[in-house]
Structure 1
Amino acid sequence: MSRYRKSFYKIFASLLFVALVSFNNSTFAQDGEALFKANCANCHHPLEDRTGPALKDVRKRTPNPNWAYKWVNNVNTMVETDPYAKALLAKWKSKMTQFNMPEADIKAILDYVDAYKAPEKKADDPNQPQEDNSLLFGILTIILAVIAFILLQVNSSLRKLSDEKEGILRSEPVPFYRNKSYLMLGVLVLFAVGGYFTINGAIGLGRMKDYQPEQPIYYSHKVHAGTNQISCLYCHGGAQDSKQASIPSVNVCMNCHKSIKEYKGEPIVKENGQQVNGTAEIQKLYAYAGWNPDKQVYDKPGKEIPWVKIHNLPDHVYFNHSQHIKVGKQQCQTCHGAIQEMPEVKQFSDLSMGWCINCHRESKVNFYNKETGEGNKFYSIYEKYHNDIKAGKMDSVTVEKIGGTECQKCHY
């Protein structure tokens, strides 16, 4: 019987090893794609220029193969010191978000974009989706689990036959649905799976990344902030001087649209392919404002536009726009993404505590320079850091070093 048992263990171990290797290989193969979609896809595409350049073969275009690894985690410093980085900033007119990413993750992303090929589309189906093998992997996993279970039952039967032949009396085997080992294993699996989804669900509570509600008026930031280059602060003046960025009143919109009655720009198309009538949207604005474009007078009572709020923070979180815009010199795109490229606004980042803390750890303090008169005088209280920079003891000071990660800075 021991010979059968050893053979069974070898077969079972071999099958388990093959299953684990197959699973791990498929997981690792997806890492680069998952990391790219999570961190890069908002601004980059492997084959097309978007907000930033196409990333395929980027290591061949940079000054050296290791340049890209350094760039990802040192954007703020390199755009000031590195000639190639300065040229990128001058060409694309925007600075890439700085990350704190392990080199292995960066390599996985670059390997993925280098191997990326445009999906083939059938002539009769131009919108054919990319193939997703998740279901296939799931089915294979279930099949392997069933095979393992069958082998266990075969082993039990062979042991029973061997014992009967040798005259060994044993009690009847316990059915699998009453076997304590199987039951305990099932409980542990359910506990692990349930715990995983419960923890992920709890972590994701209140996070609304990619939230894109339908607004009462289709307002295109791409047309206003992008094509027409209207400053964000013209409409959201509170972002520079107060805690709230504020939503512009109808009168702010009417400052321009008293004279702009029709939309004559490039076609506005929603993400679902539906074309937007820009002139009709302007008429909606007139209805809210009570404006008669023919008589050029306000002949009806105006009413507030019921905009749907997109970005929400928990009540116990303190966030001040002016501290970030006026003092910290942050661009709107840092938190809101490439807003000038968005036809309809959505929440760009998850606005989690970890996301904010990472930004504080990486953002450099804008010290006041007495010689040039530039910088923020508030930070003169940190004269020691300023002197250490001059003496070459450090090259920069992040917000973290002046208390930017203390709990009471953001929580009441």
Structure 2
Amino acid sequence: MSYHLRTVKKVFSRSAFVFLFSFLVVSANAQDGKAIFNQKCATCHSLDKKLTGPALRGFEERGPWSDRKKLYAWIHNPAGFMASDSYTQGLKNEYNGVIMTGFPDLTEAQIDAIATFINTPPPPPTDNNNTPNGVKAPESDNTLLFGVLTLILAVVALTLLQVNSNLRKMSDDKEGIPAQEPVPFWRNKVYIAMGIIVLFLVGGYYTIQGAVGLGRQQNYEPEQPIYYSHKVHAGINQISCLYCHTGAQEGKQALIPSVNVCMNCHMAINTYEKGPKLVKADGTEVNGTAEIKKLYSYAGWDETAQKYTGKGKPIEWVRIHNLPDHVYFNHSQHVVVGQQQCQTCHGNITEMDEVKQFADLSMGWCINCHRTTKVQFKDNKFYSIYEKFHEDIRNKKIDSVTVEMIGGLECQKCHY
């Protein structure tokens, strides 16, 4: 009997060890996959929403991706794999001719780790911040509470100082020491010095915070003269960003499209009927057809006669993203050479109706991006001058090069 019990214990212990080891391996792979996904894939893909590319959760149920060898071939060389695969050719047509960037540097193990992360189910939502009726409770702000506690502690401290003074006076009276006339607190040098120090620290803190935030306008979302929905145009109708913002690929400025660019489509599209409901940030519903009529007014377009009246005028769009005059930023360098997607700086623009500033565009934000973003050396002639890095990659001394390594943190790169 004892022999069988020992055998059962050994088998159970081994099974538990195998289960625990497998769980740890899967968890580690998912964690590694998350890091690689955020570094390589998150710019264009989300797990549950379409961005520049399709949502990836459940990807193995679509197309040929249940075969890992085909998945490896696609990620390593998208253009080569697409030549003989109808599913990926359909993806190219669906996303306006955009082909996924190849990642030949990813190993099969790393691709497996990404797949493990994507296939890991999301954690169930918690109800900690929900009211019984299912409505999320507003987040509490403890600033007032901390202020009241600070005030109470200050009153307690002053009271204790006064008690200490009274006790000392009573002790001096008992020992026959002549009592000194107490100095009023407004003439007490210690109190005055402490007050000055506190005011200096508080004033200095708010002055520095104000100076650091000067010109920052994260989440700035002004009302425009015409309600233009990027969600409808770039998201639902899949109009390429470069159709309107031609300068993003060719020059320093992304450029705002002229009225004629809008009229290329809206000569024919004169009503808004089949799209989703348009709503402003304050909840006010927008009449899409009326906004198209505003466009006709700016363009000087006679809808009845189907011709221009010559009375058009530019649309005075309100600028959202703005950098200080001493900062140099070139869109084409980031979009063409750096191969960055619009979403990197502008957020999920295809899901925005009224556009707001997604990032704070601070110096720290840009520097952190340069420290972590890897340079796309492959088939990029712009970086051919960095022969040492190419040689180090070939000799496997390094596996990648970041923007920081090619001078991305040098002051003169961004400042005149």
Aligned equivalents of 2:241, 2:41: Cα separation in 1: 27
Matched, 1:314 2:324: yes
Letter in 2 for 1:64: S
Shift of 1:391: 1.5
Structure 1 residues 127, 377: CA separation in 2 closer, same or farther (over 3 Å shift)?
closer
Shift of 1:279: 0.6
List runs of 5+ in structure 1 lacking aligned partners.
1-59, 96-112, 369-374
Matched, 1:64 2:64: no
Structure 1 residues 127, 67: CA separation in 2 closer, same or farther (over 3 Å shift)?
closer
Shift of 1:284: 0.2
- The answer for the alignment partner of 2:298 in structure 1 is 288
CA contact (8 A) 2:130 2:136 kept: no
- Within 5 A, what are the aligned runs for 1:5-404? 63-64=26-27, 67-68=30-31, 71=34, 75-77=38-40, 91-92=55-56, 117-120=128-131, 129-264=138-273, 265-368=275-378, 375-404=379-408
Aligned equivalents of 2:182, 2:247: Cα separation in 1: 75
CA contact (8 A) 1:216 1:305 kept: yes
SS in 1 for 2:234: helix
Aligned equivalents of 2:303, 2:336: Cα separation in 1: 38
Aligned equivalents of 2:56, 2:25: Cα separation in 1: 15
- The answer for the alignment partner of 1:410 in structure 2 is 414
SS in 2 for 1:345: coil
SS in 2 for 1:64: helix
Shift of 1:277: 0.7
Aligned equivalents of 1:185, 1:72: Cα separation in 2: 49
Structure 1 residues 228, 251: CA separation in 2 closer, same or farther (over 3 Å shift)?
same
Aligned equivalents of 2:125, 2:28: Cα separation in 1: 13
Aligned equivalents of 2:140, 2:365: Cα separation in 1: 32
Offset from partner CA, 1:34-91 (integer Å, 9 cap, x none): xxxxxxxxxxxxxxxxxxxxxxxxxx999416854884587325879xxx9xxx9863
Shift of 1:209: 1.1
Structure 1 residues 210, 289: CA separation in 2 closer, same or farther (over 3 Å shift)?
same
Structure 1 residues 401, 273: CA separation in 2 closer, same or farther (over 3 Å shift)?
same
Letter in 2 for 1:327: V
CA contact (8 A) 2:377 2:383 kept: yes
CA contact (8 A) 1:71 1:78 kept: no
Structure 1 residues 131, 65: CA separation in 2 closer, same or farther (over 3 Å shift)?
farther
Offset from partner CA, 1:88-113 (integer Å, 9 cap, x none): 98635999xxxxxxxxxxxxxxxxx9
Aligned equivalents of 1:351, 1:211: Cα separation in 2: 12
Structure 1 residues 90, 137: CA separation in 2 closer, same or farther (over 3 Å shift)?
same
The count of residues paired between Structure 1 and Structure 2 equals 322
Letter in 1 for 2:311: P
Structure 1 residues 262, 127: CA separation in 2 closer, same or farther (over 3 Å shift)?
farther
- The answer for the alignment partner of 1:53 in structure 2 is none
Aligned equivalents of 1:75, 1:130: Cα separation in 2: 28
Aligned equivalents of 2:150, 2:32: Cα separation in 1: 36
Q: Structure 1 stretch 350-359 or stretch 60-69: which is displaced more? A: 60-69
Shift of 1:116: 6.5
Aligned equivalents of 1:245, 1:211: Cα separation in 2: 19
Q: Structure 1 stretch 161-170 or stretch 261-270: which is displaced more? A: 161-170
SS in 1 for 2:264: helix
Aligned equivalents of 2:203, 2:33: Cα separation in 1: 39
Structure 1 residues 300, 61: CA separation in 2 closer, same or farther (over 3 Å shift)?
farther
Offset from partner CA, 1:152-181 (integer Å, 9 cap, x none): 101111111121012122312222221111
- The answer for the alignment partner of 1:103 in structure 2 is none
Offset from partner CA, 1:183-237 (integer Å, 9 cap, x none): 1111111100000000111111111111111110011111111111111001001
Offset from partner CA, 1:349-384 (integer Å, 9 cap, x none): 11111111111111111113xxxxxx2112111121
CA contact (8 A) 2:129 2:137 kept: no
Structure 1 residues 175, 138: CA separation in 2 closer, same or farther (over 3 Å shift)?
same
Aligned equivalents of 1:282, 1:79: Cα separation in 2: 35
Aligned equivalents of 2:248, 2:380: Cα separation in 1: 18
Shift of 1:118: 3.7
Shift of 1:292: 1.6
Aligned equivalents of 2:185, 2:242: Cα separation in 1: 68
Shift of 1:404: 1.5
SS in 2 for 1:177: coil
Letter in 1 for 2:347: G
Aligned equivalents of 2:342, 2:298: Cα separation in 1: 28
Aligned equivalents of 1:307, 1:119: Cα separation in 2: 40
Normalization by structure 1: what TM-score? 0.72
Structure 1 residues 65, 380: CA separation in 2 closer, same or farther (over 3 Å shift)?
closer
Aligned equivalents of 1:201, 1:69: Cα separation in 2: 39
Aligned equivalents of 1:148, 1:72: Cα separation in 2: 50
Letter in 1 for 2:369: C
The structure with more radius of gyration: 2
